[in-house]
Amino acid sequence: MAHSAHEGNRLLPGLALDQHDRLCCAYYKHGWLTRDYIMYVKLFASIYQGTLRGKSHSLLVFTNLLAHCDKTGDVDMHPRAIADEVGLTVEEVTAALAELEAPDPESRSPEENGRRIIRLDDHRAWGWRVVNYVKYRAIRDEADRREQNRMAQAAWRERNKPRKPASASVSQRKPESAQAEAEAEEEAKEREEVVVRGVQRGEIAPARKRAVAPSCPSEVDQQVWSDWLALRKAKKAPVTATVVRSAIAEAAKAGMTLESFLRVWCARGSQGLQADWLKPHERGGNASEPAWRTEQRERMQQFAPFSHAKRPPAAEPSEIINANAKRLD
């Protein structure tokens, strides 16, 4: 669709678009035209989801005011000028302005009792300040910065896609970003989505679940069990059902309870412990010799029951003394 040379030129009527653009650039370059006077606005969808929903005149007038606001939210326009721009009568514009000035108990914002605009001056009936303009502009600027940073990051990654050899001493510096944290969260989310898609397609094996450590046996004190678990963790050794069964077997081989065996284990501070490694004083008073030695001694007594029996001592010869009785009168 062709456009005429003067179509869309609202800032300086009478100039063609190319002349208008060159003139605006020159004015802006020399500081004669600032950003505060290049009027535009980014609308939020919430404006159509509040109490103005379905009220076309009020919405039309409100968006016109937003388009003409300066950076502080002030708009100094007469209702007749607004009527000329939006195509409504002055009466319709005045009624819409009255509704925007009225308190709104259902408004999302408590400022000014829900009023959307307030008068700049009390002595005149025109000129307003949009109550929440600065608040929503900050949200808009934050979104713009995020988008600019995202585009800068994407351009940087595109430029540095071919990786240089490891021997290269020159490194590219990543551009600074005011939203580095937000970008890092976005990239982490993208990586997570890639992993999820890979698992669903069967390209990536799902992560294994950690094995749950066995619970504390009933014959072991909870504190002893906790100390032993902490020791295994410090040694970076797993605690599995197989490890617990081996500890029970070694404790039985040493003639000790599992709790006593674990106490000695914690006192030693070693990664592993076997019954043959225990010293006599570590086994306790009820196990002064190794189990294998006790078993060997009992077998020897069965095959040679009298080998260890002591012989009775030989009787010493008795001394015989002959004595004759003699009467003493």
Mean pLDDT of the chain: 73
Q: Can you list the alpha helix ranges (DSSP code H) found in the chain?
A: 17-29, 56-68, 79-86, 90-101, 133-159, 180-201, 222-234, 241-253, 258-268, 280-283, 291-303
Closest residue by Cα to residue 251 from 270, 216, 277: 277
Taking a C-beta distance cutoff of 8 angstroms, is the pair 110, 116 a contact?
Answer: no
Query: What are the pLDDT digits (tens) for 243-255?
Result: 999 999 988 888 8
Domains of the chain in start order, with CATH, are 45-131 (1.10.10.10), 222-303 (no CATH)
pLDDT attached to residue 43 = 75
Residue 35 has pLDDT above 50, yes or no: no
Q: What average pLDDT does range 67-83 have in this prediction? A: 89
Closest residue by Cα to residue 112 from 102, 121, 122, 120: 102
Which residues neighbour 217 within 8 Å (Cβ) at sequence distance 6 or greater? 225, 244, 258
Question: Where is average pLDDT lowest: 54-68, 198-212, 271-285?
Answer: 198-212
Query: What are the pLDDT digits (tens) for 187-229?
Result: 777 777 666 666 566 655 555 656 677 889 988 999 999 998 9
Q: What average pLDDT does range 8-23 have in this prediction? A: 46
Interhelix angle 258-268/222-234, rounded to 10 degrees, is 40
* 187: Cα within 13 Å, side-chain hemisphere: 11
C-alpha to C-alpha distances, 72 to 69, 131, 136, 142, 248, nearest whole angstrom = 7, 10, 11, 17, 77
Confidence of residue 111 (pLDDT cuts 50, 70, 90): confident
C-alpha to C-alpha distances, 170 to 167, 175, 176, nearest whole angstrom = 9, 16, 18
pTM: 0.34
Count helices and strands in the chain by DSSP H and E runs: 11, 3
Question: Where is average pLDDT lowest: 47-56, 165-174, 239-248, 254-263?
Answer: 165-174
Query: What are the pLDDT digits (tens) for 40-59?
Result: 677 778 878 788 888 889 88
pLDDT attached to residue 285 = 47
pLDDT attached to residue 209 = 57
Residue 311 has pLDDT above 60, yes or no: no
Which residues neighbour 142 within 8 Å (Cβ) at sequence distance 6 or greater? none
The residue written with tokens 């937000």 in the block is 182
Residue 92 has pLDDT above 80, yes or no: yes
pLDDT attached to residue 50 = 80
Confidence of residue 283 (pLDDT cuts 50, 70, 90): confident
Q: How many C-beta atoms surround the C-beta of residue 264 within 10 A?
A: 20
- The structure tokens listed for 251 are 């404790």
Question: Phi and psi (nearest 5°) for 195?
Answer: -65, -40
Taking a C-beta distance cutoff of 8 angstroms, is the pair 112, 50 a contact?
Answer: no
pLDDT attached to residue 27 = 47
C-alpha to C-alpha distances, 102 to 68, 277, 299, nearest whole angstrom = 21, 89, 107
Q: How many C-beta atoms surround the C-beta of residue 273 within 10 A?
A: 20
Q: What average pLDDT does range 87-107 have in this prediction? A: 90
Proportion of the chain above pLDDT 70, given as a percent: 59
Residue 115 has pLDDT above 80, yes or no: yes
Confidence of residue 139 (pLDDT cuts 50, 70, 90): confident
Confidence of residue 95 (pLDDT cuts 50, 70, 90): very high
Q: What average pLDDT does range 222-238 have in this prediction? A: 90
